[in-house]
Amino acid sequence: MKNNSLINSVKIFKGIYSSLLLVFSIVLIMGLIGNKQTNLSFKEHPAVAYILLWFAIIWLTMVEGGQASLVGLEPVDNQLYKESHPKAFKCTSITNNGDNLDKYLLGRQFMVVLVVFCVNLSGAPIPGASLWGFPKWVIDVMFQGGLAMIMLTCNVGQLMSQVNASLCMLDYTNNYFALLTLYTAMAIEFSGILHASYLIQMLVNALAGKKSNSKEQSRNSSILLKAFFFVRCLISLAILSFSLAVTIEALFDGKTIMWSGIPAWVAVIIFVILLCIVGMLEGMQIAFFAVAKIPASERGDSMFAKRTCELLFRGEGYNMPAFMVGRQLCVVSCMFFVARVTTISIPKGGVNIFNVSQGVQGFLNLGFLGALITTILGSISWQLVAATFPIAFLSNPLTYILLRICLLLEGTGLCQASWVMAAVHKKISNFQRDEIYIGTAEERASKKIENNDTV
């Protein structure tokens, strides 16, 4: 009884201090933008930065919540909520058809990275930024260390929506905003800019001795559709190669918003390391989900695989959701640093990258190339490898080290404010748990059996 009381007291304390820190972070970011000390507000009117920042954060809530909802609703017969939740029904009618769920997840991943890059562009401080006479250590931690941006993005943009969407999937997606987000993700995938990921998937499957198959028979049988698919793969590969060339050229020429004083070769090494860390964290969640339901005897003989699983599934299974929270903090932190490393900024009077026109250079400065590289090489590729070789992923000692780091970050309570905000959001939106509308999985299964017996 005393243990439960102590645990609840700790949660309340974490919720209070995390919420206060979140409010403080938002005030600091708004102040920086108002004083024209962020990357975008320094060049444009602060109103542009305000609009882009909150537009990106609000859209991120639906991107993250939509994933939890649409993946979770995939096994459920959508006829059960066709009348009560028509827009959610429309969403799942699309994602449950053929390969559409995989296509949506691919496009969604790029949206997440792109939105985080937009948040960084509009709210991240310029070098040497200061505000309202705060001491240097506050500036270093909140601005240069990125804590203010991380608190806003993780708590408001990601975890709050994931908390509610994991339990209230139907209510969360029963709106036109969810439908618009779904269409946008599908359009991104259809454009082909991410199709290099499919080439990586084919390579991974070939190494594993698996055959790459599509659920859509038309793609498997139609020569024209196959040709259209591979043409987009080649175009995507060309765009990815160009993005890497531009980014590396900008790093060596000192034309990114990387901190001054860091040599070009060090910046390139940091860029590669950050991509690998993001990739490991993205792959870890896939590997963990893959081994969660298999016996311990089948989780490999490696010492690190055993230690990782023992830590992850210890006790009542709290460490799995704790890892997901800590992982989110790690991924967002790395993405902000990647955005800083890859975002191009031509000094006044400087020469454009590869001597391109001013219009093309303006497009390159938007950060799309960095987002594309991070999505393909820092997220999707690693997820594909982890899905194919989950045991090998567990046997990597870095997996165990990163798991420890994620659990430590979650234990700090930095993201406890997301639970507070989720409770407020749920109350305002009048979200109800899915079981109220469609019953539990056991009730649905029992009803299905009864209907079959009746027939």
What are the mean pLDDT values of the chain's consecutive 10-residue runs (455 residues total)? 65 83 89 83 85 90 85 80 88 86 84 83 78 80 79 84 82 90 91 86 76 59 81 90 86 72 77 86 78 65 81 70 80 78 73 77 76 83 79 84 87 82 87 80 63 52
Rounded to an integer, what distance in angstroms lies between the CA atom of residue 135 and that of residue 113? 32
Rounded to an integer, what distance in angstroms lies between the CA atom of residue 166 and that of residue 434? 10
Rounded to an integer, what distance in angstroms lies between the CA atom of residue 176 and that of residue 162? 18
Rounded to an integer, what distance in angstroms lies between the CA atom of residue 410 and that of residue 331? 13
Q: CA distances (Å), 369 to each of 240, 275, 278, 295, in order?
A: 8, 14, 17, 42
Rounded to an integer, what distance in angstroms lies between the CA atom of residue 361 and that of residue 364? 5
Rounded to an integer, what distance in angstroms lies between the CA atom of residue 178 and that of residue 184? 10
Tell how far CA 61 is from the center of its chain: 11
pLDDT of residue 180: 93
The angle, 0 to 180 degrees and rounded to 10, between the axes of the packed helices 381-388 and 196-208 is: 20
pLDDT of residue 181: 92
What is the phi/psi pair of residue 239, to 5°? -65, -40
Adjacent-strand bridge partners of 125: 38
* pTM as predicted: 0.78
Q: For the range 115-118, what are the long-range contacts, defined as Cβ-Cβ under 8 Å and sequence gap of 24 or more?
A: 115/56, 115/57, 115/59, 115/60, 115/63, 115/157, 116/60, 116/153, 116/332, 116/335, 116/336, 116/339, 117/335, 117/339, 117/343, 117/367, 117/370, 117/371, 118/52, 118/53, 118/56, 118/367
Adjacent-strand bridge partners of 434: none
Burial of 130 (0-12, 13-18, 19+ CB in 10 A): middle
Rounded to an integer, what distance in angstroms lies between the CA atom of residue 160 and that of residue 427? 13
Beta carbons of 155 and 418 less than 8 angstroms apart: yes
Q: What is the DSSP letter of 296?
A: G
pLDDT of residue 451: 54
> Buried (b) or exposed (e) across 210-224, using 16+ Cβ within 10 A?
eeeeeeeeeeeeeee
Tell me which residue of 332, 82, 377, 385 sits closest to 206, measured CA to CA: 385
What is the phi/psi pair of residue 41, to 5°? -65, -20
Q: CA distances (Å), 68 to each of 99, 109, 322, 357, 394, in order?
A: 17, 13, 17, 42, 24
Q: What is the DSSP letter of 317?
A: S
Rounded to an integer, what distance in angstroms lies between the CA atom of residue 3 and that of residue 6? 5
